[in-house]
Structure 1
């Protein structure tokens, strides 16, 4: 990876929890089902065996990806941010666009981003444009629908 994988403690915990669930629970149960299905004879028409092998490959790929992401993770606690007057990782930012529509965004790690819930990834166009901004600053964001301007109304960090 060419850049650090910043992530909040909660985001890292979610990755770790998913890894543990797949590795300790789902994968062993699936291996047991595959072994049972393999013992039933002809594997070429055995749906349990074929689906089980396919699902096992999916789980192993996901475990590999999760392992790489956790190794590259740099856990940053937003509550420990020293400069709370500017937008940095973990900030909860209230912005307003040219049509006076307010939005509240939280800058989180790319692995924990969920635009529908207002959590934008640290490397997204919004986050890149807002980095280092203070209250009252106007920033331009290149979006698929075109360039828009946003003013920063408020910046909060968790306690």
Structure 2
């Protein structure tokens, strides 16, 4: 399934900062270390050389990904015109049927973070919540089964 091109403005900045850090700081450091390791002689048995080559490949792979992704994504400004409805970048408090509450922030696919409660706009829960207002219930089919959630609060 293709990922949504939506990203928060902060998430977009974070991807740009990561690309800049990798390209301007990390890659030159690794390249210098690789050159120094190559100068030590036999490369086939040089662990430092082998490690630095692998590290450089990983950096280059991530740089290619970030450049491509930054061309695809579109930063979406936060909507404040209807604060009682769920839109992209909203933080939503939901009541479960058992009375417990959960909080999610709807973000772009590149920004998801389970520990923070940030879920992708492409996730089943986020798709079900978009456009809903405080007090509305949604039914969501998740890998753990059907969940019925009530929108308790929406923040931007």
Normalised-by-shorter TM-score class: over 0.9
Q: 1:2 to 1:117 in 2, by over 3 A?
A: closer
Matches within 5 A, 1:74-85: 74-78=74-78, 80-85=79-84
- Offset from partner CA, 1:68-115 (integer Å, 9 cap, x none): 11111110121x443333211011111001101111111111101112
Contact 1:4 1:74 in 2 (8 A): no
* Structure 1 unaligned regions, length at least 5: none
In 1, Cα distance between equivalents of 2:95 and 2:4: 30
Distance in structure 2 (CA, Å) of the matches to 1:49 and 1:149: 55
CA offset at residue 30 of structure 1?
0.6
How many equivalent pairs are there?
156
Query: Does 2:31 match 1:34?
Result: no
* Unaligned segments of structure 2, at least 5 residues: none
Q: CA deviation at 1:2?
A: 5.6
Aligned 8 A contact 1:4 1:72 in 2: no
Give the SS at the match of 1:115. Answer: coil
Residue in structure 2 matched with residue 143 of structure 1 by the alignment: 142
C-alpha separation between the residues in 2 aligned to 1:21 and 1:3?
A: 25
- Contact between 2:133 and 2:151, CA under 8 Å: does it hold in 1? yes
In the superposition, relative to structure 1, how do residues 131 and 14 fare at CA in structure 2: closer, same or farther (>3 Å)?
Answer: same
How far apart are 1:36 and its partner, in Å? 1.0
Give the TM-score taking structure 2 as reference length. Answer: 0.94
CA RMSD of superposed structures (Å): 1.5
Q: Which runs of 4+ in 1 moved over 2 A?
A: 1-4, 80-85
Q: 2:115 matched to which residue of 1?
A: 116
Q: Name 1:66's counterpart in structure 2.
A: 66
